């Protein structure tokens, strides 16, 4: 019997969300459902050189990158990504049926635009608040008709707690991931964290009411701590920016194909 050759490796789409603190990535097979990755991970900027080892097993057909961390990181990624078919994602006046109502559409952070695309794809036809909770917390509104209306930016949970501890005499540094007791805090560390969480959740809830939203998509490293504080309908989604990039890649394939 003639031996059957092993199947050829399937080409992959490499998605990268290069943020101010970490670089998140995912590999997706062509046509995979949104948010379904063959592999994914994240590294701090200091560990950037470890990224190529995460991808060397894959045949990467195309890469789509959202970078908000500056030209130097872009140049480093350019050298590391094992394909010449690299698209640097940017905000535009419209994409995939979503209209960007920012006063200057190109000024909108590409990560916020991607997150909105991903949220809209997951909750089509609904008024949505998209909250991404990382180094900064961004809170954006997408209408049921598909208009990106704009949003809010505030310090992220960790940055807010660190700033308060650093700039206020005799207040200690606290870990933004510490367990928070129910009710009012009876010690200073918990009082700092309780206040910061209330500020984060309160901003999201204010945006939700202002928009008349049907639901909130919340994502980012601090989302597991903030989401339980929310008193509005919400859905926690890992890596909403990568989901939006995947959606943008599929929309681009449809347009060019």
Can you name the residues that pair with 134 across neighbouring β-strands? Answer: none
Chain position carrying tokens 């080409």: 11
C-alpha pair distances (Å), 179 with each of 84, 193, 202, 224, 257:
45, 9, 19, 11, 50
Distance between CA atoms of residues 208 and 217, nearest Å: 11
Residue 111 known to be catalytic = yes
Distance between CA atoms of residues 73 and 143, nearest Å: 33
Question: Which of 244, 199, 257 is closest to 226 using CA atoms?
Answer: 199
Cβ atoms of residues 228 and 101 within 8 Å: no
Cβ atoms of residues 128 and 122 within 8 Å: no
Compute the chain's Rg from CA coordinates: 20
Can you name the residues that pair with 60 across neighbouring β-strands? Answer: 12
Per the structure block, which two tokens stand in for 140?
A: 């954006």
Distance between CA atoms of residues 184 and 151, nearest Å: 30
Catalytic residue of the set 75, 87, 111, 140: 111
Per the structure block, which two tokens stand in for 252?
A: 């681009």
Per the structure block, which two tokens stand in for 216?
A: 């909130």
Catalytic residues: 111
């Amino acid at each position: 019997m003639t031996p059957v050759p092993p199947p050829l490796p399937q080409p992959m789409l490499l998605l990268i969300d290069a943020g101010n603190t970490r670089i998140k990535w995912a590999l997706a097979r062509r046509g995979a459902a949104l948010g379904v990755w063959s592999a994914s991970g994240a590294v701090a900027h200091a560990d950037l050189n470890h990224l190529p080892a995460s991808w060397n097993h894959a045949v990467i057909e195309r890469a789509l990158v959202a970078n908000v961390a500056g030209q130097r990181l872009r140049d480093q990624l350019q050298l590391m990504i094992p394909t010449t078919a690299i698209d640097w994602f940017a905000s535009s006046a419209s994409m995939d049926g979503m209209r960007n109502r920012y006063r200057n559409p190109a000024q909108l952070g590409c990560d916020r635009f991607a997150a909105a695309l991903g949220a809209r794809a997951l909750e089509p036809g609904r008024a949505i608040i998209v909250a991404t909770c990382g180094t900064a917390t961004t809170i954006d509104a997408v209408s049921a008709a598909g208009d990106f209306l704009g949003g809010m930016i505030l310090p992220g949970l960790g940055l807010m707690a660190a700033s308060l501890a650093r700039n206020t005499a005799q207040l200690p540094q606290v870990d933004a991931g510490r367990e928070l007791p129910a009710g009012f805090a009876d010690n200073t560390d918990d009082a700092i964290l309780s206040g910061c969480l209330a500020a984060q959740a309160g901003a999201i809830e204010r945006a939700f009411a202002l928009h008349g939203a049907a639901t909130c998509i919340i994502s980012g490293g601090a989302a597991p701590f903030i989401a339980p504080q929310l008193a509005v309908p919400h859905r926690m989604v890992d890596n909403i920016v990568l989901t939006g990039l995947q959606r943008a890649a599929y929309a681009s394939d449809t347009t060019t194909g």
